[in-house]
């Protein structure tokens, strides 16, 4: 069903007004307005006292900050023009009245749903600030913040409904990662090592901290220059002129740093700003207070791929936690000198940190950010007007569940507490009662094979010792599961260690081969690799007689790693060609213009089928296999996308439905999200022109709350994952399959970040070098 395009009115500052909110609002409007699903946008721009800005035509209405009547007129304009949704950019200082309370009259009059972006979230608000914030939260269908810390404060301090909060990182320009050399030459800094701070200058920026650190830096890098770029903040300038800047200049003279500190006193446009960031070797944000929730300058520098040295204010602490920058404690000016000097003196480390920053920031490009905002807008419109502004001090009413994306550019840490709790010396338990292992249902080889794959994915990282120990247990379980009498793997084992069947399903056999093939190439010890190779070869012999497409696909995924490690095994290579040919033939036999799939219905672990063709075709140079995998994955992605734009996996209620009918939405299983993540990452390696990374991020966001119920399915602190999504709630049990699906998906996403943005190669012919579970282009 066609969804009508939206007309959006943004309220906030706008360029050419000189401030960060103006830049953000203008950039957001431009990015959202470029989407096909958006019909029209306008900005209702705030004007500070005494201002007379020459706004562009996109500004449809202006509001004078201290004129109460202008706020009412602004609401009347939006209502009269019939906009579908209003997006408010909130910062206390840009609205009139006590703590910006005049804006409450505007939002109380709106006919359209309100989505509010909070640029500041105070953990210790004044009484007036608290009243304003409570009223805005109550009036907003959805609230958008840019950091997990902000979401936490909204919930704990203001009692906000977690299901109405979206995390969408600060948008950034999408520019290539380039060397600083050319920009330095153009800007007159050739031959210099450059430290940069930019933005509107004010006392809280802590620029004097870097000035005081410069003698130490100059001593170790005599060619260094610190560039401070930006005009003095208009409010500060109105109050005291250039006193702060003059104090900085005086201190530079006192320290004899005139040749090493340059002030560029102007507000620059985006092209000039990006060129100056590209020029720098290190970006510094020495802010003085922890409660800086959002920094556009930090986001931009990170997005251009420049290492950052910063105090640990909230935005920086989250953004740089992955090692893409260096944090220096507050009240420690002496720490900046050694930190910056060390980076300037170690080009290898500095460039690696910059590459890591660039790769980590790709989800935050304005194009991606716009899609996330659009998803939030759709959710708000779908629910209609969720609340009316009750006025300051009036509590918000109950809010329904919403299904907008909860997207955070920072991946959760790899937590293995629940994973280890689900294991004993036999293997990994199948099920759990809530988060407690359920011994009644014993074990299965499927989950122990998945667990062995997870151990492979952890090799080389901080959890490698734990993975090495546990992999021995899972390998022993698999060995014990091999039944030499019928040359098949058993699957289910009771808690009493007695097998419950002589042979498991073809799918469980194929999944075990996947684990063995991967382990044979990535085991932590040669002896274990030889064991895996031997059992893999023995168990591979009977697969030719299998009829299950998923068994073929799982086996192919194991063969990717195995054949790369043992190219001399021609029998395995022949089996790979045979299985891939069968799978591609099955697709050709079943597909129609409306149904591009291998079977008459969708069931479980669906994306593994196209994934296996993509990685096999990439590894063997077979474009017909890659094309088959890509076209079936494109179709599957469309089938698993909700009208609101979030990931909606095929529900298990639809596994036995009528042939070729639309998939059912429930019960949704973590296995599908995990498989989709891996398949999209594999597709990205051979088809770099399509936004596969964004698709993998969308599938991963399902775990974090970007789903039909806006329910977080994982506990990121323990690494546990709920067993699925029912029509009205999550399944609170946290069994092996679900937890492993989340952890494997997270491992894939982290490797995707580490891999960065690969250079494009001809479609369908780009060779894939498999990582441990055969998903990420190395």
260-290 confidence digits (pLDDT tens): 999 998 877 788 888 999 999 999 999 988 8
What is the rounded average pLDDT of the residues 550-559?
98
pLDDT at 778 over 50: no
**Tell me: the pLDDT tens digits for 742-752?**
999 999 999 88
What is the rounded average pLDDT of the residues 514-528?
92
Sign of CA pseudo-dihedral 39, 44, 45, 50? positive
- What is d(CA 16, CA 31) in angstroms, rounded to the nearest whole number? 17
E-only strand ranges, 33-192 = 38-47, 59-64, 85-90, 114-118, 142-145, 165-167
Of all residues in the chain, the percent with pLDDT exceeding 70 is 92
Of all residues in the chain, the percent with pLDDT exceeding 90 is 69
Strands 730-731, 488-489: pairing kind:
unpaired
Q: What is the pLDDT of residue 751?
A: 87
What is the rounded average pLDDT of the residues 154-180?
90
**What's the chain's average pLDDT?**
88
Burial of residue 271 (number of CB atoms within 10 Å: 0-12, 13-18, 19+): exposed
pLDDT at 465 over 50: yes
The confidence band for 644, taking pLDDT boundaries of 50, 70 and 90, is low
Tokens standing for residue 541: 């012999």
Q: What is the pLDDT of residue 405?
A: 36
What is the rounded average pLDDT of the residues 73-102?
96
Count of CB atoms situated within 10 Å of the CB of 187? 16
Q: What is the pLDDT of residue 413?
A: 92
pLDDT at 336 over 60: yes
pLDDT at 491 over 90: yes
What is the rounded average pLDDT of the residues 620-645?
90
**Tell me: the pLDDT tens digits for 284-296?**
999 988 888 788 8
pTM: 0.55
- What is d(CA 358, CA 349) in angstroms, rounded to the nearest whole number? 14
Radius of gyration of the chain, Cα coordinates, nearest whole angstrom: 28
Residue whose C-alpha is closest to residue 713's, from 667, 678, 749: 667
**Tell me: the pLDDT tens digits for 675-719?**
999 999 999 999 988 889 989 999 999 999 888 887 889 999 999
Which of 12-26, 221-235, 384-398, 514-528 has the weakest average pLDDT?
384-398
- The size of the chain, in residues, is 778
pLDDT at 98 over 50: yes
The confidence band for 331, taking pLDDT boundaries of 50, 70 and 90, is confident
Burial of residue 130 (number of CB atoms within 10 Å: 0-12, 13-18, 19+): middle
- What is d(CA 111, CA 7) in angstroms, rounded to the nearest whole number? 13
Q: Residue 747: CB partners within 8 Å, gap ≥ 6? A: 414, 454, 457, 458, 773
What is the rounded average pLDDT of the residues 212-235?
91
Tokens standing for residue 189: 């800094």
The confidence band for 634, taking pLDDT boundaries of 50, 70 and 90, is very high
Which of 409-413, 531-535, 591-595 has the weakest average pLDDT?
409-413
The confidence band for 217, taking pLDDT boundaries of 50, 70 and 90, is very high
**Tokens 């740093």 sit at which residue?**
257
What is the rounded average pLDDT of the residues 634-651?
86
Q: What is the pLDDT of residue 182?
A: 93
> What is the distance between the terminal CA atoms of the chain, rounded to a whole angstrom?
39
The confidence band for 633, taking pLDDT boundaries of 50, 70 and 90, is very high
Q: What is the pLDDT of residue 52?
A: 87
pLDDT at 2 over 50: no
Q: What is the pLDDT of residue 384?
A: 55
Which of 9-18, 634-643, 732-741 has the weakest average pLDDT?
634-643
For each of the domains in the chain, give its residue range(s) and CATH number, in order of start: 6-171+366-383 (3.40.50.2000), 181-360 (3.40.50.2000), 417-755 (1.50.10.10)
The confidence band for 102, taking pLDDT boundaries of 50, 70 and 90, is very high
Q: What is the pLDDT of residue 24?
A: 94
The confidence band for 396, taking pLDDT boundaries of 50, 70 and 90, is very low
Q: What is the pLDDT of residue 408?
A: 44
Q: What is the pLDDT of residue 516?
A: 98
pLDDT at 334 over 90: no
């Amino acid at each position: 069903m066609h969804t009508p395009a939206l007309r959006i009115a943004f309220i906030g500052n706008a360029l050419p007004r000189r401030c960060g909110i103006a830049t953000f609002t203008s950039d957001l409007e431009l990015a959202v307005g470029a989407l096909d699903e958006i019909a029209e946008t306008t900005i209702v721009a705030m004007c500070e006292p005494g201002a007379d800005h020459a706004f562009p035509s996109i500004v449809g209405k202006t509001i004078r900050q201290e004129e109460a009547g202008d706020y009412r007129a602004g609401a009347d304009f939006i209502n009269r023009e019939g906009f579908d949704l209003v997006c408010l950019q909130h910062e206390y200082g840009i609205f009139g009245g006590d703590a910006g309370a005049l804006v409450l009259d505007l939002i109380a009059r709106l006919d359209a749903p309100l989505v509010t972006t909070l640029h500041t979230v105070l953990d210790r608000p004044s009484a007036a600030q608290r009243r304003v914030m409570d009223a805005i939260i109550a009036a907003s269908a959805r609230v958008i913040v840019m950091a997990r810390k902000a979401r936490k404060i909204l919930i704990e301090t203001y009692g906000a409904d977690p299901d109405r909060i979206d995390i969408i990182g600060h948008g950034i320009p999408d520019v290539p990662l380039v060397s600083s050399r050319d920009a330095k030459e153009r800007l007159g800094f050739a031959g210099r090592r450059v430290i940069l701070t930019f933005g509107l200058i004010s006392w809280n920026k802590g620029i004097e901290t870097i000035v005081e650190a410069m003698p130490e830096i100059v001593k170790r890098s005599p060619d260094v220059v610190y560039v401070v770029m930006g005009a003095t903040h208009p409010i500060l300038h109105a109050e005291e002129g250039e006193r702060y800047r003059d104090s900085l200049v005086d201190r530079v003279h006192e320290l004899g740093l005139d040749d090493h500190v340059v002030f560029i006193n102007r507000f620059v446009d985006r092209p000039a700003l990006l060129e100056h960031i590209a020029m720098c070797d290190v970006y510094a944000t020495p802010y003085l207070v922890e409660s800086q929730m959002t920094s556009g300058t930090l986001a931009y520098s990170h997005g251009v791929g420049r290492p950052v040295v910063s105090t640990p204010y909230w935005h920086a602490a989250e953004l740089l936690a992955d090692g893409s920058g260096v944090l220096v404690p507050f009240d420690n000016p002496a720490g900046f000198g050694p930190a910056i000097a060390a980076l300037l003196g170690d080009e290898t480390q500095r460039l690696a940190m910059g590459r890591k920053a660039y790769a980590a920031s790709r989800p935050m490009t304005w194009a991606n950010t716009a899609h996330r905002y659009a998803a939030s807008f759709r959710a708000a419109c779908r629910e209609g007007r969720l609340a009316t502004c009750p006025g300051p001090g009036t509590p918000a009413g109950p809010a329904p569940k919403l299904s907008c994306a909860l997207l955070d550019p920072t991946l959760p840490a790899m937590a293995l507490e629940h994973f280890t709790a689900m294991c004993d010396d036999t293997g990994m338990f199948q099920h759990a009662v809530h988060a407690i292992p359920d011994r009644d249902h014993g074990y299965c080889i499927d989950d122990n094979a998945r667990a062995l794959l997870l151990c492979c994915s952890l090799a080389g990282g901080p959890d490698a010792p734990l993975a090495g120990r546990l992999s021995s247990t899972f390998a022993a379980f698999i060995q014990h599961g091999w039944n030499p009498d019928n040359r098949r793997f058993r699957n289910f084992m009771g808690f009493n260690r007695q097998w419950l069947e002589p042979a498991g399903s073809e799918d469980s056999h194929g999944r075990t081969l996947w684990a063995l093939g991967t382990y044979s190439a990535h085991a932590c010890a040669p002896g274990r690799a030889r064991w895996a190779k031997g059992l893999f070869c023995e168990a591979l012999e009977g697969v030719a007689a299998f009829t299950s497409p998923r068994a073929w696909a799982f086996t192919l995924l194991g063969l990717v790693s195995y054949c790369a490690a043992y190219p001399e095994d021609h029998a395995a290579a022949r089996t790979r060609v045979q299985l891939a040919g069968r799978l591609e033939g099955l697709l050709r036999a079943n597909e129609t213009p409306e149904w591009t799939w291998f079977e008459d219905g969708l069931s479980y672990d669906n994306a593994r089928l196209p994934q296996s063709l993509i990685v096999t075709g990439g590894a063997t140079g077979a474009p017909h296999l890659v094309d088959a995998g890509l076209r079936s994955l494109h179709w599957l992605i469309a089938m698993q996308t909700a009208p609101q734009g979030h990931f909606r996996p095929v529900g298990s209620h639809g596994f036995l439905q009528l042939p070729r009918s639309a998939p059912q939405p429930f019960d949704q299983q973590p296995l599908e999200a995990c498989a989709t993540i891996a398949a999209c990452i594999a597709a990205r390696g051979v088809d770099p022109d399509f936004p596969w990374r964004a698709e993998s991020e969308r599938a991963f966001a399902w775990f974090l709350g970007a789903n039909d119920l806006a329910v977080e399915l994982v506990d990121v602190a323990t690494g546990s994952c709920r067993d699925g999504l029912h029509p009205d709630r999550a399944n609170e049990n946290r069994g092996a399959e679900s937890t492993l699906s989340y952890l494997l998906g997270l491992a894939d996403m982290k490797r995707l970040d580490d891999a960065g943005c690969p250079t494009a190669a001809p479609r369908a012919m780009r060779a894939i070098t498999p990582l441990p579970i055969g998903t990420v282009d190395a």
